[in-house]
Amino acid sequence: MAVWKKFGDDQAGNLAALIAYYGFASLFPLLLVLVTVLDIVLAHDPTLKAKVLNSTFSHFPGIGNTLRNATAGHTVSGTGIALVIGIVLTFLGARGVAAAAQNALNTVWGVPLSRRAGFPWSLLKQLGLILAVGIGLLATTLLSGLAGASASVLGGVAAQIGTLVVSLVLNILVFWLGFRLAVEREIKARQMLPGAVLSAIVWQILQLFGTYLISHQVSKSSSVYGVFGVVLGLLAWLYLQAQFTLYAVEANVVSVRRLWPRSLAPPPFTPEDLRAFDMYAKVQERRPELDIETRVAAPVRQTGDPQPKGRSPAP
């Protein structure tokens, strides 16, 4: 109940929608950068290039083939310095998803606005977040694929479980690194580990059932909306991932900050209610000189209530 209430208090659904929107807008440019880099680095190994791309598009169940076809034959144009400038500008244009994730995670953790990184450090953290998470997801998928290939050779349930465990551990590390880069340093890395574990578990579950969920959504809407059905499916997939990830982080914050139990029908307020309200208020501190505090106001006397003895009416 405390996690659910904090999710609503933070308006985390809106934060998740913003991440999904910027993720949708940033996805194609980032895929173009990936295809361009692979064309350069793996020009003499097309087999490995195909494996990397397949592992990337597998993160989008039901619509990965559409994204693969959309990026086929497209790259960031230019050579030499022009290519470097094109890639850098593409990253700058695609950093919106990292900025949205930064804002969402700092808000959920209650980091005041005055203590968040400003320009240019925020921009460097956003680019680092894109690189770290992107490379991390590719590495986890490739290593999981190698583990899966070994499992298919060895056979047996134990090998399949081992593959799942390897993938889960690698995803935990990626989420932990992403949270560390997104959230300000006043939040310790060890405090964010439970959220990384929960997020990785949610990620694994969504990957297992995502093919059914998204394929069902796309098939249901494509017959009516055509290409817009694929767009709706992609947005639904990104929003689902962002929302469940924020739920995992909210659970982490509630546990670390001891923000439970919460009152079901306040007032009266529990001490944890007051601690949560105080954290929400301090998030809005826009200058380090400010010190925002919260207090519970005395109940307002209704008209017609008897006047307490020994007190004069309020002016």
203 neighbors 238 (Cβ within 8 angstroms): no
Identify the pLDDT of residue 233.
Answer: 77
Query: What average pLDDT does this structure show over 74-99?
Result: 77
Q: Which of 246, 25, 243, 23 is nearest to 133 (CA)?
A: 23
Residue 15 has pLDDT above 90, yes or no: yes
pTM of this structure: 0.83
**What average pLDDT does the structure give for the chain?**
82
Q: What is the pLDDT of residues 142-156, one digit of tens each?
A: 666 565 555 555 566
Rounded Cα distance, 53 and 289, in Å: 50
Identify the pLDDT of residue 166.
Answer: 81
- Which SS3 state, helix, strand or coil, does residue 128 take? helix
Query: What average pLDDT does this structure show over 162-167?
Result: 78
Identify the pLDDT of residue 227.
Answer: 65
Rounded Cα distance, 114 and 241, in Å: 29
Q: Which of 247, 138, 131 is nearest to 181 (CA)?
A: 131
Look up residue 270 and give its DSSP letter.
P
Which of 33-42, 43-52, 79-88, 162-171 comes out lowest in average pLDDT? 79-88
236 neighbors 217 (Cβ within 8 angstroms): yes
Identify the pLDDT of residue 195.
Answer: 97
Q: What is the pLDDT of residues 206-242, one digit of tens each?
A: 877 776 666 665 555 555 555 676 777 788 889 999 9
Q: Which of 7, 195, 183, 199 is nearest to 105 (CA)?
A: 183
Residue carrying the six token digits 């950068």: 33
Identify the pLDDT of residue 247.
Answer: 97
Identify the pLDDT of residue 158.
Answer: 72
